[in-house]
Structure 1
Amino acid sequence: MIRIHNYFVYILECADKSYYVGVTNDLETRLIQHNDGENDLAYTFTRRPVILKYYHRFDRIEDAIDFEKQVKGWSRKKKEALFEENWNEIIRLSNYKNK
């Protein structure tokens, strides 16, 4: 029997306008943890509050982790195109280095 799970890749906008990309199996709880500052070593700890800008659900953790790694390497403009699901812009930006 195949079990369906919920895994989420998410992007947060931090108070300093930087973006944080993460993966979780409980998006609502994870957002609360980021904003409550539960981990003082976390990237977002000194950049609170954070705002959820984007998320995408996956059935398999492996797929979520692969996508998270991919998006972490994207430029700011490319991440912002993802927020709008502007695939034409994502493709265009993929063809140019450092865009």
Structure 2
Amino acid sequence: MAHTLPRVKRGYVYIMTNGPSGTLYVGVTSAIAARVAQHRAGEGSEFCRRHRLTRLVHVERYGTITEAIAREKQLKAWQRGWKLNLIGRSNPEWADLYPTLHLD
């Protein structure tokens, strides 16, 4: 009799903004494309809706949602300048990464 292991949900940490060096929102999800689509439609967080944060500028993929949550907490504790540098290194043009998502 074969035993199947429970499927472990991967996780993503992401940063949304309203423009280069604009307001930042750090989030975590197990379904990045669907979650960003919610933000873009104004159905995500109240903070994103209020500040019109529709541009995805940073994504990190993790093997488990637990790892992603730990990283989200770490990034939320970072100074704003550190977050700006992180985005600048991974996405110097601050391009919207949503159209390139093929992760879910």
TM tier, smaller: 0.7 to 0.9
Structure 2's unaligned 5+ residue stretches are 91-104
Higher RCO structure, 1 or 2 (CA under 8 Å, sep 6+)? 2
The question of whether the paired residues in 2 share the 8 Å contact of 1:6 and 1:57 is answered with yes
| Residues in 1 aligned to 2:85 and 2:43: alpha-carbon distance in whole angstroms | 30
Structure 1's unaligned 5+ residue stretches are 86-99
Q: Does 1:32 align with 2:37?
A: yes
Runs of 4+ in 1 over 2 A off after TM superposition: 1-6
Q: Secondary structure at the match of 1:17?
A: coil
Counterpart for residue 22 of structure 1: 27
Number of equivalent positions: 84
Percent identity, aligned pairs only?
Answer: 33
Q: How far does residue 9 in structure 1 lie from its aligned partner after superposition?
A: 0.3
Q: Secondary structure at the match of 2:15?
A: strand
1:58-90 CA-partner distances (Å, limit 9, x unpaired): 1111111110001011112101221215xxxxx
Q: Does 1:50 align with 2:31?
A: no
Q: 2:71 aligns with which of 67, 73, 78?
A: 67
> TM-score normalized by structure 2?
0.69
The question of whether the paired residues in 2 share the 8 Å contact of 1:14 and 1:20 is answered with no
Q: How far does residue 3 in structure 1 lie from its aligned partner after superposition?
A: 4.1
> TM-score normalized by structure 1?
0.72
